[in-house]
């Protein structure tokens, strides 16, 4: 017997029409590449998105075709989010931090047809355009007054001219909710990047889950500033979430340094922000050097990489900003877990509370997770046993675009490549990555723990811990450290700093000081490169190899 409820598909366009009808006056504030701060209501956002959908039709974009973007966080990018997906095409957000060779490869692989880009990325587009095969139309996301005289890009169109030529009547099609809506490529630290193709259904369900109180906890009273770029897993879904709850959205454009962000937080009364730890390091340094305050910021969402405990303390104890530590992946749309304390944890002594918050958090409803041993057996939730983290749920990838890499699932579960433990309260803690673990004498050593300790040392700007080959123990931890400018930190001082903080046998065997740790396109440390460079360091030091 079937239930007798309406069968309305879950569509991205419904987020926009909801925002227009119920939060029409709410604002999207954008600091633009042109240098101004632009404000428009959700009502105007919806009208411009419909104009843009008409423009896509005149450009000949067909259902299912990929429309690519190279853009910062801003209102025009948001209009593309809704117009492209809402009209039945697929939004492909390209990551401008990638090398032109990689971008060309990805755009060809995705078979992108049209590329919308911002002026900042003109040199990148000029490098890619002569080589990329499928892109037939380029659109510069600006107005006529800011169009450059000559670009070398044939038949370049102007975004605002395109919109001005259309009217704002457009009926969003009633698509099948399983229709593809957007596409992101994984950062590709191993092998070629792979495409993750989201659907309307997966996106709307992910949005519903992510706004809930034990997840990102967003409401119409919030002013949300996603520092996380709209080209990195859809800015963690915040452009959708803001429309769902009617929150004001502040989009920071190209300037993500501490000073620019702090000014925007203060000027716009931002209450919630979201980004990777590297960004917060810059912001905290600026605030502390200049003795500034956060007058409206209440919460910040930290994810993409582990939030160091020192950062948790700085935000919460010195600035009164609550940290929400979250974990996710491109393959998870991205949200998997959020570190919201349970009721009985609120009264824990502060150190214990911080220790819980430093974990990656609990599964949000819709994400099921488990940790498994090498033979695939499930490990107990005791906060100790650590193994590969496996997940499943309706916004988790089932296969990569064009079937690349074969079937990624194991018995219906997606292996994350992260190594984690889960405690009795369901808090997951990443201890390492399966491609990046240190196994010393048959025992795991968590490289992230060692990095967190090193990074808490006042002389350390950045630290990476890698598995170095060792004659006796197979692998031992090796620290690669970039000192803060002016710091004179020595190997002995740094290793002494670990004393008492970890089991003695976890202490790194050596420290290599470098000028800078290599970072990938999404700001993560390129540990694979470090391993290639320093993997034999301990063997060389012991005279085992030359």
Number of neighbours of residue 485 by Cβ within 10 angstroms: 6
Minimum distance from residue 415 beta carbon to ligand AMP (Å): 10
Minimum distance from residue 129 beta carbon to ligand AMP (Å): 26
- Chain residues 521-540 in contact with ligand AMP, contact rule CB under 6 A: 522
3-state helix, strand, coil in the chain (%, to 5): 35, 25, 40
Number of neighbours of residue 156 by Cβ within 10 angstroms: 18
Catalytic (active site) residue 17: no
Minimum distance from residue 417 beta carbon to ligand AMP (Å): 6
Q: For residues 245 and 389, which CB has a smaller minimum distance to ligand AMP in the complex?
A: 389
Q: For residues 86 and 193, which CB has a smaller minimum distance to ligand AMP in the complex?
A: 193
The residue whose two tokens read 């074969």 is 406
Minimum distance from residue 429 beta carbon to ligand AMP (Å): 9
Query: Residues 268, 331, 388, 451: which is the catalytic one?
Result: 331
Among 279, 430, 450, 481, binds ligand AMP (CB under 6 A): 430
CB 86 within 8 A of CB 182: no
Q: For residues 188 and 535, which CB has a smaller minimum distance to ligand AMP in the complex?
A: 188
- Chain residues 166-225 in contact with ligand AMP, contact rule CB under 6 A: 186-187
Minimum distance from residue 437 beta carbon to ligand AMP (Å): 12
Minimum distance from residue 336 beta carbon to ligand AMP (Å): 8
Q: What distance in Å separates the CA atoms of residue 241 and residue 204, rounded to the nearest whole number?
A: 9
Q: For residues 246 and 393, which CB has a smaller minimum distance to ligand AMP in the complex?
A: 393
Catalytic (active site) residue 177: no
Check whether the bond before 334 is cis (ω within 30° of 0).
yes
Q: What distance in Å separates the CA atoms of residue 70 and residue 405, rounded to the nearest whole number?
A: 26
Minimum distance from residue 324 beta carbon to ligand AMP (Å): 10
Among 197, 264, 306, 323, binds ligand AMP (CB under 6 A): 306
Ramachandran region, residue 217 (left: φ > 0; alpha: ψ -120 to 50; beta: rest) = left
User: Per the structure block, which two tokens stand in for 192?
Assistant: 């070629």
CB contact set of 534 (below 8 Å; sequence gap of 6+): 466, 468, 478, 480, 512
Among 77, 206, 433, 457, binds ligand AMP (CB under 6 A): 433
Angle, vertex CA 129, rays to CA 127 and CA 134, nearest 5:
145
CB 460 within 8 A of CB 481: yes
Strand order in the sheet with 428-433: 368-372, 387-392, 414-422, 428-433
Number of neighbours of residue 348 by Cβ within 10 angstroms: 13
Catalytic (active site) residue 172: no
Catalytic (active site) residue 527: no
Q: For residues 140 and 307, which CB has a smaller minimum distance to ligand AMP in the complex?
A: 307
Number of neighbours of residue 403 by Cβ within 10 angstroms: 9
Q: For residues 13 and 337, which CB has a smaller minimum distance to ligand AMP in the complex?
A: 337
Query: Residues 179, 186, 271, 507: which is the catalytic one?
Result: 186
- Chain residues 246-305 in contact with ligand AMP, contact rule CB under 6 A: 303-305
CB 75 within 8 A of CB 248: no
Residue of minimal CB distance from ligand AMP?
Answer: 330
- Chain residues 315-334 in contact with ligand AMP, contact rule CB under 6 A: 325, 327-330, 334
362: nearest Cα among 420, 313, 413, 401: 420
> Helix, strand, or coil here: 336?
strand
Total site size for ligand AMP, rule CB under 6 A: 20
- Chain residues 337-366 in contact with ligand AMP, contact rule CB under 6 A: 360
Q: For residues 158 and 519, which CB has a smaller minimum distance to ligand AMP in the complex?
A: 519
- Chain residues 12-41 in contact with ligand AMP, contact rule CB under 6 A: none
> Helix, strand, or coil here: 326?
strand
CB 258 within 8 A of CB 284: yes
Residues paired with 389 in a beta bridge? 371
Q: What distance in Å separates the CA atoms of residue 477 and residue 530, rounded to the nearest whole number?
A: 12
Minimum distance from residue 54 beta carbon to ligand AMP (Å): 34
Q: What distance in Å separates the CA atoms of residue 540 and residue 546, rounded to the nearest whole number?
A: 5
User: Per the structure block, which two tokens stand in for 286?
Assistant: 């600026």
Minimum distance from residue 358 beta carbon to ligand AMP (Å): 10
- Chain residues 409-428 in contact with ligand AMP, contact rule CB under 6 A: 416-418
Q: For residues 87 and 300, which CB has a smaller minimum distance to ligand AMP in the complex?
A: 300
Q: For residues 77 and 359, which CB has a smaller minimum distance to ligand AMP in the complex?
A: 359
Is residue 234 at the binding interface for ligand AMP, with CB under 6 A as the rule? Answer: no
Query: Residues 57, 160, 439, 473: which is the catalytic one?
Result: 439
Number of neighbours of residue 369 by Cβ within 10 angstroms: 21
Residues in contact with ligand AMP by the rule CB under 6 A? 186-187, 233, 303-306, 325, 327-330, 334, 360, 416-418, 430, 433, 522
Q: Which active-site residues does the annotation give?
A: 186, 331, 439, 444
């Amino acid at each position: 017997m079937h239930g007798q409820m309406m069968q309305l598909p879950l569509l991205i366009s419904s987020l926009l029409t909801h925002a227009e009808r119920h939060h029409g006056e709410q604002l999207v504030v954008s600091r633009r590449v042109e240098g101004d701060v632009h404000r428009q209501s959700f009502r105007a956002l919806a009208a411009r998105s419909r104009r843009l959908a008409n423009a896509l039709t005149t450009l000949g974009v067909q259902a299912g075709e990929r429309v690519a973007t190279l853009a910062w966080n801003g209102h025009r990018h948001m209009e593309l989010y809704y117009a492209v997906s809402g009209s039945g095409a697929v939004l492909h957000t390209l990551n401008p931090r990638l090398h032109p060779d990689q971008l060309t490869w990805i755009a060809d692989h995705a078979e992108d047809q049209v590329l919308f880009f911002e002026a900042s990325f003109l040199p990148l587009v000029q490098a890619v355009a002569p080589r990329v095969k499928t892109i037939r139309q380029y659109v510069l996301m600006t107005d006529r007054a800011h169009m450059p005289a000559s670009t070398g890009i044939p038949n370049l169109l102007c975004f605002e001219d395109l919109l001005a030529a259309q009217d704002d009547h457009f009926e969003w099609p009633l698509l099948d909710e399983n229709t593809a809506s957007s596409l992101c490529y994984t950062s590709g630290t191993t092998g070629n990047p792979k495409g993750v193709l989201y659907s309307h259904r997966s996106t709307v369900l992910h949005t519903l889950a992510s706004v809930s109180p034990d997840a990102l906890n967003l409401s119409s009273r919030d002013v949300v500033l996603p520092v996380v770029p709209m080209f990195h897993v859809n800015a963690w879904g915040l452009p959708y979430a803001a429309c769902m709850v009617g929150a004001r959205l502040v989009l920071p454009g190209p300037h993500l340094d501490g000073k620019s962000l702090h000014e925007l937080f203060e000027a716009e009364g931002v209450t919630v922000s979201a980004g990777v730890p590297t960004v917060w390091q810059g912001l905290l340094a600026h605030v502390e050097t200049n003795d500034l305050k956060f007058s409206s910021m209440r919460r910040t969402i930290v994810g993409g990489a582990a939030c160091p405990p020192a950062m948790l303390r700085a935000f919460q104890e010195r600035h009164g900003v609550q940290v929400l530590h979250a974990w996710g992946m491109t393959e998870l749309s991205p949200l998997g877990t959020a570190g919201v304390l349970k009721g009985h944890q609120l009264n824990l002594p502060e150190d214990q509370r911080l220790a819980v918050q430093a974990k990656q958090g609990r599964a949000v409803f819709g994400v099921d997770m488990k940790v498994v041993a090498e033979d695939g057996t499930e490990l107990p939730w005791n906060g100790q046993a650590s193994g590969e983290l496996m997940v499943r749920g309706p916004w988790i990838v089932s296969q990569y675009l064009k079937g690349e890499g074969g079937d990624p699932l194991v018995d219906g579960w997606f292996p994350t490549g992260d190594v984690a433990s889960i405690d009795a309260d369901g808090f997951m803690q990443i201890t390492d990555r399966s491609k990046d673990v240190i196994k010393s004498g048959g025992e795991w050593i968590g490289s992230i723990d060692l990095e967190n300790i090193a990074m808490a040392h006042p002389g350390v700007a950045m630290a990476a811990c890698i598995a170095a080959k060792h004659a006796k123990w197979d692998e031992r931890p090796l620290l690669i450290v970039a000192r803060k400018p002016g710091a004179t930190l020595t190997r002995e001082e740094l290793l002494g700093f670990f004393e008492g903080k970890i089991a003695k046998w976890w202490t790194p065997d050596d420290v290599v000081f470098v000028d800078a740790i290599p970072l990938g396109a999404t700001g993560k440390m390129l540990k694979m490169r470090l391993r290639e460079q320093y993997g034999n360091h301990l063997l060389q030091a012991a005279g085992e190899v030359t």
